[in-house]
Amino acid sequence: MIVIKFSDYIEHYYNTFKEILELDNYNDIVYIAGYCNRIDSLSEFPYLLIKLLYNLNCLYSLPYLPNSLTHLFCDNNSLYSLPELPNLLTYLDCSSNNLFSLPELPTSLIKLICSSNNLSSLPELPNSLQILQCGFNYLSSLPKLPNSLKILSCYHNKLSNIPELPNSLIELHCAYNDLSSLPKLPNSLITLYCSDNKLSSLPKLPESLTYLSCTNNKLSSLPKLPKSLVTLLCYDNKLSSLPEIPNSLHELSCGNNIISRLPEIPNSVTILY
């Protein structure tokens, strides 16, 4: 089933894309959603198209993308490349394909999801970007991160370092890499997930942090814990002691270390293992 909308945003349903192509007002379509249809090819898109949702199909390529397009969902296909991206594009989800590279990113892009591909590098990131999800690739480095970035998810790659983090960042997911150190953490950070790396130490933790997972590293000590911390997962390290536990903490997991004695555990901790 394929859903299309015109400027009135009333939904119209069709069984095949061929039926849609035969419409007299085809070029007036602004929205197309055709997921889970086993489509392996597409012809030219409508001139006024704004949103395209063609995920969970069998596409090997995409035709020329209209300049009006702002949202492109082409994840879970068999794409080996993407065409030139339109200048107005704000949202791109091309995850779970066979992409080896990405084209130049438009300066309007706010969210980029390119996880689970064959990417070994990323193009220059636009200053508008707020969310970058690029996990499960073969990235050995990241480009300069824009000051607008709020969420960075780059787990399951081959990263040995991470560039300077912007002050806007609130979530960092960098687990399952080859990191031996982390850059300075911004004061805005709320979530840090850096498990399964080669970290021997952590930088100073920001006072805004509520979630820290640093499991399965080579840590022999932890820095001072912020008073805002709710969850601390630090098992599978080389810790001989823990710092003072804040009264905000609810969950503490510190098993498989060499800790002989725990610090005072506040009543706020309801999960301890």
Mean pLDDT of 70-75: 97
Q: Output 207 or 41, whichever has higher pLDDT.
A: 207
Please report how many Cα atoms fall inside a 13 Å half-sphere around the Cα of residue 272, on the Cβ side: 11
Q: What gap in Å lies between CA 215 and CA 118, rounded to an integer?
A: 27
How far apart (Å, rounded) are the C-alpha atoms in residues 223 and 140? 27
Q: Is 263 exposed, middle or buried (0-12, 13-18, 19+ CB in 10 A)?
A: exposed
* pLDDT of 38 above 80: no
Average pLDDT over residues 94-103: 98
Q: With pLDDT > 70 as the criterion, what percentage of the chain qualifies?
A: 99
Lowest mean pLDDT of 5-9, 15-19, 41-45, name the range: 41-45
The arithmetic mean of pLDDT across residues 3-19, rounded, is 93
Least confident of 28-42, 159-173, 239-253: 28-42
The predicted-structure confidence for 167-213, as pLDDT tens digits, reads as follows 999 999 999 999 999 999 999 999 999 999 999 999 999 999 999 99
Percent of the chain with pLDDT over 90: 92
Task: Indicate the pLDDT class of residue 43, thresholds 50, 70 and 90.
Answer: confident
Question: What is the C-alpha to C-alpha distance for residues 95 and 75, in angstroms, rounded to an integer?
Answer: 5
pTM attached to this predicted model: 0.95
Query: Which one has a higher pLDDT value, 12 or 36?
Result: 12
Interval 27-54 mean pLDDT: 88
Mean pLDDT value of segment 45-52? 95
* Count of CB atoms situated within 10 Å of the CB of 20: 17
pLDDT exceeds cutoff 80 at 42: no
State pLDDT tens for residues 223-246: 999 999 999 999 999 999 999 999
pLDDT greater than 80 at residue 37: no
Residue 40: pLDDT band (50, 70, 90) is low
Q: Quick: pLDDT tens for 142-160.
A: 999 999 999 999 999 999 9
Confidence label for 8 from pLDDT (cuts 50, 70 and 90):
very high
